[in-house]
Amino acid sequence: MSKSTTPRRLGADDIYLELRDRIALLTYEPGVMLGENALAEEFGVSRTPVRQALQHLEFDGLVVTRRGVGTMVSTLDLPYLRAVYTLRLKLIDVIGDLSPGRVAGADLRPLEAILDQVKVMRSAAGRNDMRELAKLYIDFNRELSAAIDNRPLREIADRLFYQTSRVWLQLAPDLDLASEVEYVVDEISRVHAALERGDMREVAAVRREHMVGLPQRINDFICADLATVEPSPRTVEPRQTTVEHAPRW
């Protein structure tokens, strides 16, 4: 006679991880209200684990709670996120120095599965979207974080990743998807090869290269888009100035 099993009840950590992914993938866009009662009903739990999950997200900077208003997804503060991105670049070198990178072959199987899924997107032109690629990249980051042996460093790096991850989807929805797929294939392939050798410094170098390249691609896209915009014609009235009040450049 087999024992009946009951589904494991979701805890605060489970809810936190699910909500964090939803925020990163813009399922919950900036400014969206997150109600404790609605979330508790959705996850089939009391409000306590939901409240704990929201507190964790607030610590991460992904939501804000205002008295009398409630909890909402934080907006994108670009100057702040630029500083976070710079810090992430610095931490990459620390990750390479402190993590010995002892990775067994079996531990690389989830990474290989993610790489295979990204490669499938090559032959599915027109049936993919940037959000699908972003989800796979988040899965890739999750597996890569597991290779960081230093727990405090891993937690900090993870927190900073999620603070900046949604910028890609928010600012560049019209980037060339096929090109972005190739960039992700290249990064995961090279990281996988470095992990097989246990070379975390090479992992750090590959990640740095791709992190530096992303803002440049976004900037190139924006500049190219602006270059196609015709300036609106307008008549400028001549302005009389004296030498004393002439503008100084």
Tokens coding 212: 């530096």
Element (H, E) at 66: strand 63-66
From first to last of its 249 residues, what are the pLDDT tens digits of the chain? 455 555 678 899 999 999 999 999 999 999 999 999 999 999 999 999 999 999 999 999 999 999 888 999 999 888 998 899 999 999 998 888 876 555 555 588 999 999 999 999 987 755 568 889 999 999 999 998 888 888 899 999 999 999 999 888 877 666 788 888 999 999 999 999 998 888 888 989 999 999 998 878 777 766 665 555 555 555 444 444 443 433 322
Task: Go through the domains of the chain in sequence order and give each one's CATH number.
Answer: 12-73 (1.10.10.10), 78-226 (1.20.120.530)
Chain centroid, CA 95 distance in Å:
18
Residues with Cβ within 8 Å of 159's Cβ and at least 6 positions away in sequence, in order, are 60, 61
Tokens coding 159: 């927190």
* Closest listed residue to residue 20, CA positions, set 177, 172, 168, 160: 160
Phi and psi at 73, nearest 5°, equal -65, 135
